[in-house]
Amino acid sequence: MTTTRRRSIVSKPTFQLKLTIIFMLMVTIVANLVGGLCYLLISEKVQDLLEHSSERLGQTDLTMRDIANFLIPRILIAEGFSLFFVFLLSILVTHTIAGPVYRMEKVAKEIGTGNLAIVTTLRPRDELKELADAFNLMTRGLAEKIGAISKETIAQEKLEPDKRDFARLRELLSQFRLPEHLGRPLEEDADGGDVGPDEVERV
């Protein structure tokens, strides 16, 4: 698998859209609750000020309706800009999660085909590094076990006069692709070492 770099910030549209909608709903609910509470508190204070002003200065043309007509549209406009900003920020933030999830899916599919030489690397700002390390450890462990079975099979095959019993086993073992150097430290691959065609596609 050749290494390519994807510059799109939308690697898993459905997943990122769901998270973005959740973030926006949370922000909308909190903003409306806080805004409504502040408006009620301010309106009570303004109402008292209007009553005192009317007693001292006489009838005033300013009413609570005028104040509401002035404040509410501006609050809604500010909330709209805030939601748009949250939408853009959510897309960027969810990419740090969606990107690794996308790569984990590709790694899982490769492992399912028998490719145990694959190594996945994550960028410094990506999340789920622990999951990537677990995948690499799992793959390396499986590769070592399959490699040991393969060596033992070859050794036993040389000792047995009837090699037909080993034919099927060797056929199954040949479906696995193992790393060329199992003794190399796993961190060397995970940190972006010379993994060649086995490096998973970056997002």
pLDDT tens by residue, 167-198 = 767 777 777 777 765 544 444 444 444 443 34
Residue 202 phi/psi, 5-degree rounding, is: -80, 150
pLDDT above 80 for 132:
yes
pTM of the model: 0.54
Residues 6+ apart with CB under 8 A from 157: 163, 166, 170
Domain interval for residue 47: 13-198
Domain membership flag for residue 106: yes
In a domain, 93, yes or no: yes
Any domain includes 7: no
Mean of pLDDT values over 46-59: 64
pLDDT at 148 over 50: yes
pLDDT at 75 over 50: yes
Separation of alpha carbons 147 and 136, rounded Å? 16
> Is residue 4 a part of any domain in this protein?
no
- Domain total in the chain: 1
Average pLDDT for residues 148-174, to the nearest whole number?
72
5 found inside a domain: no
Residue 203 lies in a domain: no
- Tokens representing residue 158 in the block: 């040389």
In a domain, 1, yes or no: no
The pLDDT of residue 12 is above 60 = yes
The pLDDT score that the predictor gives to residue 195 is 41
Distance CA 153, CA 48 (A): 91
pLDDT over 90 percentage in the chain: 0
Query: How high is the pLDDT of residue 135?
Result: 84
What residue type is assigned to position 158 of the chain? K
Q: Is residue 161 part of a domain?
A: yes
